[in-house]
Structure 1
């Protein structure tokens, strides 16, 4: 039996929210990405940051990559590769920020960049195997989060 509240008494609690309460709740939750997409955005930003550092290392120390120690022959000059990684890392970091802001185009860009980045890391895997494997694994995790949670955000 429902009773009418007395003047000055608190509003009674109801079991079902009103339409206005549902709209307000939906507005609050639609502004925040779900946990997996936020994880992918942060991981993409972090992977881009590591790529920036790797590109800077390649630019600043392009004669360090050698076979057989310091007296061995230079495998290749990685200055151009350093520029590619530096620019790619900046773009990846910006895409991670856009993904966290739930920009629609950021998902498509993120999937493309993550795929390209993982493939390109195989080119340096012989010189920096541990770093390359870690970054490729990070890219696979980000790719999974972007594709597995595709329909759950706007």
Structure 2
């Protein structure tokens, strides 16, 4: 007899994939900010005025998100908790960077909200 797919497992899979993608992007952006790449807008005022500090925060957040994605895929309880925490921090960071990149920031914020929904609504079912 075929196993019945758990309700909401698509949301958990979506959340795991998106946490991994956002984690990789945060690692790349963190490295770019630490290296003072010309990708970032120089004239804009960010909440953190030192671009290298912002880069280290983003890099660490990206690494945490990658660990969370791995744990979500393994089905552990650590993954959804850290995934929600990482997506929440990423959503806050996206809102703080609206002056520099408004459309990109709002898109990242929307993805973070979907990640949080998927993990809050269905993340515990997978771990149980």
Q: Report what 1:118 is aligned to.
A: 91
Partner of 1:85: 58
Unmatched 5+ stretches in structure 1: 1-20, 68-73
Alignment deviations for residues 41-78 of structure 1 (CA, whole Å, 9 cap, x no partner): 011111111111211221122675322xxxxxx74331
What TM-score, normalized by structure 2, do the two folds share?
Answer: 0.80
Unaligned runs of 5+ in 2: none
Q: Does 1:134 align with 2:110?
A: no
**TM-score, L = length of structure 1:** 0.68
Q: Which one of 22, 27, 48 corresponds to residue 23 of structure 2?
A: 48
1:58 partnered with 2:33: yes
The structure showing larger relative contact order (alpha-carbon pairs under 8 Å, at least 6 residues apart) is 2
Q: Which has the larger radius of gyration?
A: 1
**Aligned residues of 1:54 and 1:85 also touching (Cα < 8 A):** yes
The answer on whether the counterparts of 2:68 and 2:78 sit within 8 Å (CA) in structure 1 is: no
Of Structure 1 and Structure 2, which has the larger fraction of its residues in helix?
Answer: 2
Q: Which secondary structure state, in structure 1, belongs to the residue aligned with residue 75 of structure 2?
A: coil
